[in-house]
Amino acid sequence: MNPPTLGHDTRIPSTALFPLYKEPPRKASAGEVLENFELEPTTVWSFSERGKWATHRSTATYRGNFAPQVARNLILRYSKKGEVVLDPFVGSGTTLVECKILGRRGIGVDVNPSVVGLCKNNLNFKTTENYKQEVICGDARDLSFLDDESIDLIIAHPPYANAIEYSNGLSGDLSLIDDVEEFMHEMEKVAKELFRILKSGKYCAIQIGDLRRGGCVVPLGFKTLRAFQEVGFALEEIIIKVQHNCKSFSPWIKKLATYNFLLLAHEYIFVFFKVFKT
């Protein structure tokens, strides 16, 4: 049993486009808690409690979900109201729930039809914003239904190879790929599609972690970083996301001295920038 996994001259810096700010207070629907929310000011993000406003209590039950605070920080910092935000691995819908609350047009894609239904259900709540949220059953490696340079922001939380299986043998499910090099070959296809559909001068954020196999760390995060750079993305930020309350930790705590390894308790959020066309 293996241990658990847990610049360009024409570029406008993100701090110039979207400086640190706190959105002005407004009347919020129950649980939206916008008035007291502030953007993370550093490259280390740590949320000891997962956000539970709107329908995030429901999205929290989905395996491999990510904190709504991550989606909110990325949406507020790297997009504006009315812009189009894509999540190509939408899962239970964390990104789209935040898009609905924050007034962005969300598009969520997932290869699993049952998950698409779950996401749509989690979008069934009232908000003061009226922007459309669209959920599509599709493959992140083939987004041909989206035009070139049509997306303002991409937020993606792909599977970490086969660290968590999201389906029982579903064709196209990347989480079923055990071989890391094969997984990365497929992720390169994802990177190319995301680069194609993202507008020049806009951002793509990927949250991903590393694996441990045979006692050694597999740097899946850095492999993903390299794959996205090779298709043309420029690296804007590397954010360290601290993991809390991971259930997979507990069986290994007493075995640390015997196996002499450290538990992987962080993930990366790579923020990429698509350089303006010249």
d(CA 89, CA 186): 14
- pLDDT for 182 equals 94
Residue range(s) defining the domain that contains residue 247 = 14-21+40-273
Total of domains in the chain: 1
Residue 24: C-alpha distances to residues 19, 71, 100, 179 (Å): 14, 19, 17, 48
85 and 58 in contact (C-beta within 8 Å)?
A: no
Closest CA to 184 of 214, 217, 218: 218
Q: Is residue 110 part of a domain?
A: yes
Instruction: Say if 34 falls within a structural domain.
Output: no
At residue 244, the pLDDT reads: 75
Q: What is the pTM of this model?
A: 0.82
Paired tokens of 245: 């309350």
Query: What pLDDT is recorded for position 256?
Result: 58
Q: Is residue 8 part of a domain?
A: no
Specify if 88 maps to a domain: yes
Q: Evaluate whether residue 7 is within a structural domain.
A: no
Q: Which among 94, 89, 91, 53 has a CA at the least distance from the CA of 70? A: 94
Residue 192: inside a domain: yes
Amino acid at 113: P
CA-based nearest residue to 219, from 266, 176, 273, 164: 266
Predicted pLDDT at 66: 83
Confidence at residue 26, expressed as pLDDT on a 0 to 100 scale: 38
- Low pLDDT (below 70) residues in the chain: 1-35, 58-64, 161-167, 169, 245-260, 278
What per-residue confidence (pLDDT) applies to 61? 62
- In contact, 89 and 157? CB cutoff 8 Å: yes
**Residue 247 has what pLDDT?**
53
238 assigned to some structural domain: yes
Taking the C-alpha atoms of residue 31 and residue 56, their distance in angstroms, rounded to an integer, is 10
- The pLDDT, as a whole number, for residue 18 is 36
- Residue 31 inside a domain? The answer is no
Can you give the CATH number for the domain in which 101 is found? 3.40.50.150
| DSSP, res 75 | H
Contact 221, 208 (CB under 8 A): yes
Tell me if 161 sits within 8 A of 180, measured CB to CB: yes
